[in-house]
Chain A
């Protein structure tokens, strides 16, 4: 069964003399336990799509079905109850947290609001969540501002998995992580996916990351989806101009030998 089905979504922004078509007739589907990688130039509409799926922004037109229901028609208590099932890791992690929050309170909120575990069990659950994303439990009492950028990204991921969601929208969720930790977080996400059949809509500018975790990849350009296919096909043999430009601009590791010869390992 399809978990997420998006049909003909459109969104326009008009403000301060600017007139932007952020989404233009976007349709896609995502099955449980699958990852759809979403790539595209800066400003092409990826976060707008993510925010509409999260119901943080209304579309101008189009429809979304989530778990068999008309997702855009839900409101009030029904929406609040189902919200636990879709989580998001935002691109601007710091901006997405209450600046006065501590690490513990960031993780405590979803556990409390969605009644995931009884109160007495929450500290244990928080420590467990931190551990899963490779962070030490002693960070719990720190202010969310007083941790490093990569630590904050991992806290956001821990918050997203706290409610046992069916879908997580990840918007540049691993972009500030160094290679070793990023590798671990990606492995964790894939492991959680296998364990709990979570689907990911994975937005990233990093094609190597998308290639590693996606079943399919879709490429956006100027608000439109211009190419969709199995991950390998889109990366190895891109068809659209947008996808080709992205693939060819990926920085290659250049190692110069002392004689001045350069090679790419």
Chain B
């Protein structure tokens, strides 16, 4: 597999902050792969994602290097789709669902409005939005949280980006729809050679489909490598802690049972 981008000794410090949010990260991202980024809240996952996408706020200090194969960084919206952790950051409240999703397809695929709307409807169906044709005229506030997240995913994918960064993009979806979205992203990686960078706190979800994982803590990359080897033989104590704290349906409850 070829390398999409090489990150070397990257540090990112927000304006007026004493400490970097991401410090001394060195990581290769493979083209056409599925990379899961896992780690503690506040450990710098979204910051790394925003850095790759060129979406950092003004006056943020970045040191180190990001080398993109091909020389130039990907253009957000066109080469790179981004689904934000908060759906309200991904969607414009005054545009209809149809307008937001069609916009990317129209601008970047050179489609007319009619074709762009057809592509929009197709994308909404692929993210399992029911009555997709009727959803086109709805506004974001008229959707459920999970529907908004799926629209944001459809909008990010509409322009057929070569890279998709999904920041906790399935965290508010029920597990059935979540599995369908993951299968859709998996298809795009396989069939359209898309590179997927998937930020999640759900280690079980990542274990099922990521080729590689990168584990973050306190702004540092703790370890990275093929999913199978990192999870089966974690080199770092923090990764082991993550695996141990995984909660599943057999974990002991924190409250006493209600009487039947």
Taking CB atoms and an 8 Å cut-off, the chain B residues in 155-201 that contact chain A are 167-168, 171-179, 201
Interface residues in chain A, defined as those with a beta carbon under 8 Å from any beta carbon in chain B: 13, 15-18, 34-35, 39-43, 46-47, 91-95, 146-151, 154, 171-172, 175-183, 186-187, 190, 193, 205, 207-209, 211-216, 229-233, 235, 245-247, 249-258
A residues near B85, Cβ cutoff 8 Å = 149, 176
B54 beta carbon closer than 8 Å to chain A:
no
Name which residue of chain A comes closest to B216, CB basis: A178
- A203 and B67 CA atoms in complex are apart in Å by 43
| Majority secondary structure, A binding face | mixed
**B1-9, B73-81, B115-123, B142-150: which one contacts chain A?**
B142-150
* Total A-B contacts with CB atoms under 8 angstroms apart: 203
Write out the residue numbers on chain B whose beta carbons fall within 8 Å of the beta carbon of A233.
260
Cα distance A151–B44 in the bound complex, in angstroms: 12
Q: Count B interface residues, CB 8 Å.
A: 69
Q: Give complex CA distance A39, B249 in Å.
A: 14
Interface residues of B in 229-258 (CB under 8 A from A): 229, 231-233, 241-243, 245-249, 251, 253-258
Binds A, one of B26-34, B105-113, B128-136: B128-136
Interface assignment of B63: CB less than 8 Å from any CB of chain A: no
Complex Cα–Cα for A205 and B135 (A): 23
What is the CA–CA distance of A209 and B245 in the complex, to the nearest angstrom? 12
- Verify if B92 is at the interface (C-beta below 8 Å from A): no
B94 on the A face (CB < 8 A): no
Interface CB pairs A-B, < 8 A, 10: A17-B134, A18-B131, A43-B130, A47-B144, A178-B40, A180-B40, A190-B255, A230-B259, A251-B207, A252-B204
Q: Give every chain A residue within 8 A of B253 (Cβ-Cβ).
A: 211-213, 231-232
